[in-house]
Amino acid sequence: MPERWRIIFLLAGLFCFVEQSFGQYVTVQKITITGLKRTKASIVYRELTFAEGDTLTQNELGPVLERNRNNLLNLGIFNEVVVNVSEWDTKKDLIEITVDLKESWYIYAAPILDLADRNFNVWWTTYNHSFDRINLGGRIDWLNFTGRNDKLKALIQFGYTPKQELEYRFPYLNKRQSLGVTTLFLHSINKELNYGTFNNREQLVRLGEQKIQERWEGQIRTFYRPTINIKYELALRYQNLEIDQEVVTDYNPLYFSNGDSTHSVFSLRFVYEYDDRDRKIFPATGIKFSAEAEKIGLTNSADENTLITALSVEWNATTGRRFQHRVSTTAKYSLSRSRPSFVYYKGLGSGVKYVSGYELYVIDGLDYVLGKYQLAYKLLEKQSNLGSFMPVEQFRRVTYAFYISLLAEVGYVNDPFSGGVNPLTNQWLYGGGPAFTLLMYNNFLFQFSYCTNHLGEWGLFIHNRTSF
């Protein structure tokens, strides 16, 4: 036999061996969903990447089942999810998959004990944890309102900042469950107002007990989700603000760019998002990319005329079974280079974007870039049963995980208008330190960090997040 035929037969045999060993297919004959009490089964099927009749290779079966488990946990309406092969016909290569679910508690009604300040760290340090700066009231978050993963939120708040808020999210308008809508109404009154920033600290004014600002806002957001990982969102917002004339006259004539004490404007925001992370909160693997553009003021005669763009990328990976790496970058750039109203002149520290170690500072600017790295080590992941000590059945089985982390972060804010009164702008900011993280019920995250900044200041900072 010629040598070339020997090689051909050898390669063919090797290919058949590899195909037989690693490429055998199984067909999903049946999918069974158990544990649903409130949620519609169609909501579960929407998150699965396989359907009855699909074929899967045996070597990808495990990762596929784990991926679908995470897809369902990311909805935020299940405490526990188990996706397993329940039956396997090895002769016909047919499998049956069971999705066993334990629904989360869906009504969170609680009194409000909210801080009037930007975050807990500012309230504790800058204002000496004064109870005079606390808002009281009531709030209800009704998850899975009709069993279709919709959410109703209602809030009534009294005290330092009276506020009323009503929001409803319905994610599945059409049969394909790819179109959704969110509506929001908000009204608030302030007796104290942040009218400016000096030395990267908020400058507050209070005119006795009289109203200093009143805010009305209405918003409708529509989104299109053609696949599990991709989402497009279009949001139309109307906002009306009225402040006391004394703020404009005596404190900041550019609080609104037109110099008035009233401000009424429509804005339009578009967001594209790709997200294949295994979990939405404290993910271990996957990437997230988002791009957005917002036009504030839709006509030439509007009270504001600003166009803002933003990009963000997040990458997650694991090393071994316990180490996790997270790298993220966020950038904001204003295409309108004129000075906007102070109320829109925001950089780092005003919201959820900050450099660790600088939580006590506000770093306003026209543009910014933010980079974060986190190395996390999983100390413990466990499930406990509280039994009769917990009256709410959905909370009796507690899933929790503890992590220790090392944070390293950098940021830069471009401020072309403040004339050097805020020294932390127009320079690179470096911060970081160790952190301890607690994740409960796959939905609630609490982080305690001890971080420093380039000024040599150290501080203990507390942050929390939820997946819904």
Q: What is the pLDDT of residues 278-298, one digit of tens each?
A: 988 899 999 999 999 999 999
Candidates 3.10.20.310, 3.40.50.410, 3.60.9.10, 3.60.70.12; correct CATH number of 3-103? Answer: 3.10.20.310
pLDDT score, position 6:
53
Q: What angle do CA 46, 51, 52 make, to 5 degrees?
A: 140
Residue 373 CB neighbours (<10 A): 15
pLDDT at 333: 97
Please give the Cα distance from 256 to 430 (Å, whole number): 32
**pLDDT tens figures, 32-43:** 999 999 999 999
398 pLDDT higher than 50: yes
pLDDT for 58-106, tens place per residue? 888 999 999 999 999 999 899 889 999 999 988 888 999 999 999 988 8
**Poorest-confidence range of 155-164, 214-223, 408-417?**
155-164
Average pLDDT, the chain: 88
Question: Phi first, then psi: what are they for 180, rounded to 5°?
Answer: -145, 170
Residue 175: enclosing H or E segment and its boundaries?
A: none
Q: What is the pLDDT of residues 9-21, one digit of tens each?
A: 555 554 444 444 4
Query: pTM score, two decimals?
Result: 0.85
Residue 393 is given by DSSP the state G
Separation between Cα atoms, residue 312 and residue 44, nearest integer Å: 29
Name residues whose C-beta falls within 8 Å of residue 18's C-beta, 6 or more positions apart in sequence: none
Task: Report d(CA 443, CA 459) in Å as an integer.
Answer: 27
Helix, strand, or coil here: 442? coil
C-alpha gyration radius of the chain? 26
Q: Is the pLDDT of residue 433 over 50?
A: yes
Helix (H) or strand (E) holding 446: strand 444-453
Q: What is the pLDDT of residue 207?
A: 86
Cα distance between residue 234 and residue 212, in whole Å? 32
Name the β-bridge partners of 376: 324, 405
For the chain, what are the domain ranges? 3-103
Residue 232 has pLDDT above 60, yes or no: yes
